[in-house]
Amino acid sequence: MSAHLEVNGLSKSFGSVVVADGLSFSVAPGEALGIVGPNGAGKSTLLSMITGVLAPDAGEVVLDGHDLTRSSAASRTKRGVARSFQVPRPFTDMTVFENVYAGAAFGGGLRGQAGYDAARSALERTGLIHLSNELAGSLRLLDRKRLELARALATGPRLLLLDEIAGGLSDSELPPLIELIAALKAEGITIVWIEHIVHALTAVTDRLLCLAGGHVLADGPAEEVLAHPDVVEVYLGSTVEMEEAS
């Protein structure tokens, strides 16, 4: 099967800091890829380049065989690319509903009632419907994380990029989130999920990719990647909760 997302030789530097150095990988349609790596490995920057808010210095981003490297972020959203942010970035002066409606109306291109229905459905799935009329700026962290997901879902994504959506959640908050992401995968949405909580990743993803220093250290089945000598080396002494992977 041909790849849904292909990242070919993506490079990016900020001054002398190299955040991506010839990154290449691909994701099949409906596949879920987990990305791990130490802080500063260039994981979030990678998502910014896939979504088009950050232009790479070199390399290309290909979706369904179309080279999107020069496409605007808005047009990529309309092609089905959506992301959540590690630190939630709601439109703080708008209500929760308006936040999600923006995703449905502009990203999903839905007008009138269809837009309202899509927004409502995304709010219901993420358990935010009862907060619809609250200002997004007043939400607590868990709900802000849910809003990130709801807003991304409302755009009608085919490729969902999650940036540490589980970070900071308690043990009781985690299972419903994992369940929801697994359900999205079951619906055929391709998922690329960056996370430090490895057991959350391995519960849903088909494959892991480890990034460090802007390089792909390892790419393959979870147990192989986690046992890879370079990956172990990178993680020794780091704060990542490797023990939870067992």
8 A C-beta contact, residue 31 and residue 233: no
With binding defined as CB under 8 A, does residue 51 bind another protein? yes
Which positions from 162 through 201 interact with another protein, judged by CB under 8 A? none
User: Which residue lies nearer to another protein by CB, 25 or 101?
Assistant: 101
With binding defined as CB under 8 A, does residue 52 bind another protein? yes
User: DSSP letters along 120-140, please?
Assistant: HHHHHHTT-GGGTTSBGGG--
Q: H helices of the chain, where?
A: 43-51, 73-78, 96-102, 112-125, 141-154, 174-186, 198-204, 222-227, 229-235
User: Which residue lies nearer to another protein by CB, 98 or 206?
Assistant: 98
Provide the token pair at 65. 């065989």
We find the least distance from the C-beta atom of residue 233 to another protein, in angstroms, to be 35
Rounded distance, CA 11 to CA 59, Å? 6
Diameter of the chain by CA atoms?
Answer: 54
User: Which residue lies nearer to another protein by CB, 18 or 94?
Assistant: 94
With binding defined as CB under 8 A, does residue 82 bind another protein? yes
With binding defined as CB under 8 A, does residue 77 bind another protein? yes
Could you say which of 17, 53, 55, 227 contacts another protein (CB under 8 A)? 53
Could you say which of 45, 86, 155, 205 contacts another protein (CB under 8 A)? 155
With binding defined as CB under 8 A, does residue 238 bind another protein? no
Provide the token pair at 221. 């089945």
Q: Provide the binding-site residues for another protein, judged by CB under 8 A.
A: 51-53, 72-74, 77-78, 82-83, 85, 89, 91-94, 98, 101-103, 105-109, 111, 151, 155
